[in-house]
Amino acid sequence: MTTMNAFNFIDGLDGLAAGVAIIGGVAFFLTAYWVHRNAPLTDYSDLATLLTAVVVGSCVGFLPHNWFPSKIFMGDSGAMLIGLLMASAGIVSTGQITSGLYDRANGIPTIIPILLPFAVLFLPLLDLSLAVVRRTALGRSPWSADRGHLHHKLMDIGYSHRTAVLLMYMWTCILAFGGLAFAVFPWQIVLAVDLLATLVMGLITAWPYLSRRDVQEVR
């Protein structure tokens, strides 16, 4: 239910929810594939890969029609259905993971099943949490609409509609594949790369605000 509402909340810009679902679905698909590659199984057509393939395939077909300026809207029912499929994909993908699949040198095998879903779905869940806290603090219903979402903040600091969506895509990629990398590569290397990527993306995201402040200080 939380993930369903989270995807409904981020469906505020054309192409945003569908693109985030594609990236998350690919991450969950790679997780399921990696599990099967490292487990003594011969059947690759399980529920996890099926669900993720459905999510990615449907959103890839839908995204060109939903890209700004959109010709078709996802709507509440579409966004919540995507959220339901993403939540299910996360459960069935990471639920197959056991500590025996990991190289002990990685050092953090036991937290991977918990880390992956939250890493993949971090932005929608963060946006939902901030919206609920913000609206509740103002004495409003958590479900009342406003322009305080993360994607609206990007547009407020100067990004165009399309650029704001692309930035959200890039953040989702860093979080989703950065979390997935912990299951494959030594955690020290992954942590260093993730921190560097986060720093670079943080500077890119804040650049309009930083450049505007520099101009004001010069004046």
Average pLDDT rounded to a whole number, residues 183-208: 92
Residue 83: which domain range?
2-212
Q: Is residue 173 part of a domain?
A: yes
CA distance linking residue 116 with residue 182, whole number of Å: 9
Specify the pLDDT at position 61. 95
Specify the pLDDT at position 105. 43
63-67 contacts, C-beta under 8 A, 24 or more apart: 63/15, 63/18, 63/19, 63/22, 66/14, 66/15, 66/18, 67/14, 67/15
Q: Is residue 219 part of a domain?
A: no
Over residues 59-70, the pLDDT tens digits come to 999 999 999 999
Average pLDDT rounded to a whole number, residues 86-104: 69
Specify the pLDDT at position 217. 54
Over residues 121-175, the pLDDT tens digits come to 999 999 999 999 999 999 999 988 899 999 999 999 999 999 999 999 999 999 9
Total of domains in the chain: 1
Q: What is the model's pTM? A: 0.88
Q: Is residue 217 part of a domain?
A: no
Q: Is residue 56 part of a domain?
A: yes
